[in-house]
Amino acid sequence: MKKLLVLIAFGVLAGCSSQMPDMGTAKPVHYQCEEGRNFQITFNEDKALLQLPKEDYALKRAVSASGMKYISDDGMQDVSTAITFLGKGDEARLELGREVLKNCMVMK
């Protein structure tokens, strides 16, 4: 019984860890935004990996009326730290807390 409780506890802790999603063989999409800012994002089913020059973030797909929307996957609800990626076609917008990268286009 004690072993079972220990295994359950480890399972719960492992589920709470903030790991980057496995992107498999998915290829990153590179975006160039206003003011020369850029980033890349790799999509894999309902997850995405956002890669900025100094930091990577795990995102999850969210409901969107049109196009695609990915949001912070670690429960960040505070507007000052939440991350939102909005994309449609070759255009995107990236919200990094209160900072917004606008008019982002896929680099081909």
What pLDDT score was predicted for residue 16? 37
**Looking at residue 35, which CATH number applies to its domain?**
2.40.128.200
Number of structural domains the chain divides into: 1
Q: Report if pTM > 0.85.
A: no
Please write the tens of the pLDDT for every residue from 20-50.
Answer: 556 567 899 999 999 899 999 999 989 999 9
Under the banding of pLDDT at 50, 70 and 90, the label for residue 2 is: very low
What pLDDT score was predicted for residue 76? 59
Q: Which domain holds residue 41?
A: 2-106
What pLDDT score was predicted for residue 23? 58
3-class SS letters over the chain: CHHHHHHHHHHHHHHHCCCCCCCCCCCCEEEECHHHCEEEEEEECCEEEEECCCCEEEEEECCCCCCEEEEECCCCCCCCCCEEEEEECCEEEEEECCEEEEEEEECC
pLDDT at 79 over 70: yes
